[in-house]
Amino acid sequence: MMIDIIKVLIVGIIDIWVIYTLFNVLYICFFRGVPAIPSSKETLHNLEKILLKYKTSDDFVFYDLGCGNGKLSFFVAKKYPSSKVVGVEINPFIVFYLKCKKFIFGYKNVDFIRANIFKMDFYKLKPDFIYVYLGDSISKKLSAKLKNELNFGSIVIGNKFLLPDLKVVDVVKYKTLINGPLRVYKK
């Protein structure tokens, strides 16, 4: 009996993952979005080091722009249950998948929204942290917007791609050549 339940759960998870992947590929093909790239364990480890160094309390507001499969958003939500984590994604299929996953696993401090980051008002949202891993051209365009809209003390963590309009205050390099570095920008 228990083995049958486990089998059903495993098949259900595989089905959800296949549907997620299919819709992600279709969305990228037809709407030219940025592909979802899962965060590596090293990225999560380095992000945790940055959060420990720069957070002033455990109840911070964290935005993950272009959250993809939500791995990083769920990681921050689990590590810091007093925080408010918002994953922002333009792909509606991914947002639906992430909301289902949030419900299934019972996360209370994370939310996922479908939004165009260039239409968001970061001044009103007042994030303490923003994580960005969106590609070179999008990061450059977003850089000027963040410079104009962020509140004093906000921290932006950029993975790999430069945000030229913001001032780098710290760099966390990776041990592998594939990733990073994570750059910390402070307003």
DSSP for residue 77: H
Domain boundaries, the chain: 34-186
How many angstroms separate the CA atoms of 65 and 55, rounded?
A: 19
Single-letter amino acid code for the residue at 158: G
Among the residues of 55-118, which ranges form H helices? 71-79, 92-105
Task: For residue 110, give the 3-state DSSP assignment.
Answer: strand
Region of 24 please: left (phi>0), alpha (psi -120 to 50) or beta. alpha
How many angstroms separate the CA atoms of 130 and 158, rounded?
A: 8
Confidence of residue 10 (pLDDT cuts 50, 70, 90): low
What percentage of the chain exceeds 70 in pLDDT? 79
Q: In this predicted model, what pLDDT tens digit does every residue of 31-59 receive, in sequence order? A: 555 666 777 889 999 999 999 999 999 99
Q: Does residue 118 have a pLDDT over 90?
A: yes
Q: Could you give the angle at the alpha carbon of 29 between the alpha carbons of 23 and 31, nearest 5°? A: 90
Q: Which CATH architecture has domain 34-186?
A: 3-Layer(aba) Sandwich (3.40)
Tell me the pTM: 0.83
